[in-house]
Amino acid sequence: MRTFLILMRVQMHALIRSLTPGSRRIGMALAVVAGVLLVAFAALYLAVLGLTLVSFGLGSALPAFAVALSALVGVVFTFLKANGTLFGLTDFDLVMSLPVPRRTVVAARVAALYTSAMFMGAVASVPVWAVYLACVACSPWAVACAALSVLLAPAVPTAIATFLAFGVNALASRFRHANLVYIVISLIAFTALVVVLYGFSFTAGADGDAAMEQLAGGLAAMSSLLSLGWPPAAWMGDAVANGSVAALAAFIGVSLAVPALALEIMQRNYLRINAALTAHARCRALTAGELRHRSGRTASPFKAIALKEFRTLLGIPSYAFNCLFGYLFMLVIAVALSVVGLEGMLGSGVIDGVELSAAEYRAISGVVANALPWAFVFCGIMCPSAACSVSIEGKNAWVLAAAPLPVRTILGAKLASNALPVAATLAVSALVLLVSGQVDALGAAEVLVTGFGAFFLMVNIGLSSDARKPNFSWMSPNEVVKRGFPIMIVILGGMVLAFGGGAVSFVLSLNLGVTAGVLWNLGIGALGMLGGWLVFRFTCRTARLA
């Protein structure tokens, strides 16, 4: 037990360090604020969802829903974190050579995963349980069931997800471009999810009471499906609703037995599993002709660094996940609008319940068109790869630091590798909207200029912060890609800019006319580009690349 606790303490140190990298108080404060806001937002959203289910008479489904939600969060979190916590450890050799039983080592790693998954699951399920206890039934039995559910619901999913993560990682390690394949599949899956959700929302909001009944029926069917698909959810639902001790015992028993069995299987095969994961795919040797041909390809230093940046983005999955979704959103929005039409979308109620009639839409179509570029501003700031491109070099930072290139060339290439694809995606989106008749030429120009200007300003502010105080000592890329100060500046500052700028545009368009809104949008875009350029010049004078 003592060794288990010592190993757990190491895991906790690693977790705390990853949550509070560096020593910047502002960064840590921002991280805490962002975390609290995110948790509050998620809790609010789920509570509203719970209340909606109650209003449809589906309150009794909430316990099962809470368990399934915890399970889902547990699966996703464990799947993402297992590689690095349980597999592919940097300290694998060190830990495994210690005089500690293998079962203890694996148990400590799984416990760390489980504790984190339980916390994440609690964030998702506690609001739902709170709604149930407040609006449906509140008894000591229900409270006890809720507590047990929060504690145990992620156990089985965590156990299953560890095996799933192993399978995927083992498969990925056999392919040279495994990361790229992994990223592409995830992006396709995400796009499919967005399209399905959008389709569901659009259908649900289409036709008054009939649609509401349809939605309620759909939710009831989903609830039944959920209970069938995830038996622990059904057991917990039965235990809470009917006071079934047997169902609760089944939930507890399975929640303890499955992880114990998984732990035993994992510890028995732990050495073999890690050996399989470290066996990277090798390619066949090049022939002399191939070597000569491939080594003869040249590029300018600027282009070489820009290409290297693309490879970095696609070579680190968490970097790609964090910085590629914005591109996808832009294209999805443009295509969706061109298919459904702005008028159709605003008449459907899919956007926050807004349902405009045709006459109402015609009256404010200019105002709406002026608000559209700010949706693309929002998407643009979700592509901030350049903002952490200095820190992401990590241990490789010496390569560019020793390169005979001015800081301007290095940072310029990093910026270009981000700014050019954003500009191209905005241009394509604007073109799609223009060709489909959703915006006129001026509207298309607004999408491009406002979207790019805001992005360029914010990403340069982020890059400036990163280049002047880089964090090269990260252990996991998430430290700079998800929780890094520069990324946080871009995302939070960009959101303020998107919502604030959009609100001003809306007010100006309503009160002073559409032209005022157009001028504001184009002016902000132009100012953003100018401001971004000035920030970049300043950065080149003050940057520290090693």
Partner 1 sequence: MNSPADAPVLSVSHFQKRYGDTIAVRDLSLTVEPGDIYGFIGHNGAGKTTLIRSIVGVQPIDGGSISVAGIDVTADPVAAKRLCAYVPDNPDVYDFMTGLQYLAFIADIFEVPVRDRQARIEEYARRLELTDALASPIASYSHGMRQKLVVIGALIHEPRLLVLDEPFVGLDPLVSHELKRMLHELAARGGAVFFSSHVLEVVEKLCNKVAIIRHGQIVAAGTTDEVRGDDTLEEVFLELVEDGGAGTGAMGKPAPSSPSEHR
Spatial contact of 152 and 103, defined as CB atoms under 8 Å apart: no
Distance CA 376, CA 498 (A): 9
Longest Cα–Cα distance of the chain, Å, equals 78
Toward partner 1, which CB reaches closer, 94 or 283? 283
First to last CA, the chain: 43
- Which of these ranges, 108-116, 333-341, 380-388, 403-411, lies near partner 1 under the rule CB under 8 A? 403-411
312 near partner 1, rule: CB under 8 A: yes
Toward partner 1, which CB reaches closer, 227 or 312? 312
Toward partner 1, which CB reaches closer, 332 or 414? 414
Nearest Cα to 103, choosing from 276, 261, 328?
Answer: 261
Q: Identify the residue among 16, 210, 283, 358 touching partner 1 (CB under 8 A).
A: 283
Report 507-546 residues binding partner 1 (CB under 8 A).
Answer: 546
Toward partner 1, which CB reaches closer, 212 or 401? 401
Query: What is the smallest separation between the CB atom of 313 and partner 1, expressed in angstroms?
Result: 9
Q: Identify the residue among 81, 308, 482, 483 touching partner 1 (CB under 8 A).
A: 308
Interaxial angle between packed helices 358-380 and 441-468, expressed in degrees from 0 to 180 and rounded to the nearest 10: 30
Q: Identify the residue among 136, 233, 305, 381 touching partner 1 (CB under 8 A).
A: 305
296 near partner 1, rule: CB under 8 A: yes
What distances in angstroms separate CA 425 from CA 116, 329, 340, 421, 532, one per listed residue?
37, 10, 20, 6, 19
Toward partner 1, which CB reaches closer, 2 or 284? 284
Query: What is the smallest separation between the CB atom of 309 and partner 1, expressed in angstroms?
Result: 11
Distance CA 87, CA 85 (A): 6
Toward partner 1, which CB reaches closer, 415 or 433? 415
Toward partner 1, which CB reaches closer, 379 or 410? 410
- Which of these ranges, 246-254, 262-270, 302-310, 482-490, lies near partner 1 under the rule CB under 8 A? 302-310
Distance CA 428, CA 454 (A): 17
Q: 3-state class of 18 per DSSP? A: helix
Q: Identify the residue among 134, 281, 351, 420 touching partner 1 (CB under 8 A).
A: 281
Query: What is the smallest separation between the CB atom of 289 and partner 1, expressed in angstroms?
Result: 11
294 near partner 1, rule: CB under 8 A: yes
Query: What is the smallest separation between the CB atom of 392 and partner 1, expressed in angstroms?
Result: 11
Q: Which two tokens stand for residue 395?
A: 């241990």
Distance CA 501, CA 303 (A): 34
401 near partner 1, rule: CB under 8 A: yes
Distance CA 77, CA 122 (A): 13
289 near partner 1, rule: CB under 8 A: no
286 near partner 1, rule: CB under 8 A: yes
94 near partner 1, rule: CB under 8 A: no
Helices (H), 279-357: 288-295, 301-315, 317-340, 342-348
Size of the site for partner 1 (CB under 8 A): 44
Query: What is the smallest separation between the CB atom of 307 and partner 1, expressed in angstroms?
Result: 8
Q: Which two tokens stand for residue 365?
A: 């179509």
Query: What is the smallest separation between the CB atom of 518 and partner 1, expressed in angstroms?
Result: 44
475 near partner 1, rule: CB under 8 A: no
Helices (H), 402-481: 407-435, 441-468, 478-481
Toward partner 1, which CB reaches closer, 393 or 466? 393
520: exposed, middle or buried (C-beta count within 10 Å: 0-12, 13-18, 19+)? buried
List of residues 6+ apart from 277 with CB closer than 8 A: 87, 88, 166, 169, 170, 173
Interaxial angle between packed helices 155-172 and 62-85, expressed in degrees from 0 to 180 and rounded to the nearest 10: 40
Spatial contact of 30 and 488, defined as CB atoms under 8 Å apart: yes
Report 406-425 residues binding partner 1 (CB under 8 A).
Answer: 406
Toward partner 1, which CB reaches closer, 268 or 280? 280
398 near partner 1, rule: CB under 8 A: yes
Query: What is the smallest separation between the CB atom of 11 and partner 1, expressed in angstroms?
Result: 24
304 near partner 1, rule: CB under 8 A: yes
CA atoms within 13 A on the CB side of 515: 0
280 near partner 1, rule: CB under 8 A: yes
Count, residues in the chain: 546
315 near partner 1, rule: CB under 8 A: yes
Q: Tell me, what amino acid is at 435?
A: V
Neighbour count for residue 233 (Cβ, 10 Å): 26
299 near partner 1, rule: CB under 8 A: yes
Strand partners, 87: 83
Q: Tell me, what amino acid is at 285?
A: A
Toward partner 1, which CB reaches closer, 20 or 173? 173
385 near partner 1, rule: CB under 8 A: no
115 near partner 1, rule: CB under 8 A: no
Q: Identify the residue among 99, 140, 289, 404 touching partner 1 (CB under 8 A).
A: 404
Query: Which residues sit at the interface with partner 1, rule CB under 8 A?
Result: 176, 179, 280-286, 288, 290-292, 294-301, 303-305, 307-308, 311-312, 314-316, 394-399, 401-406, 546
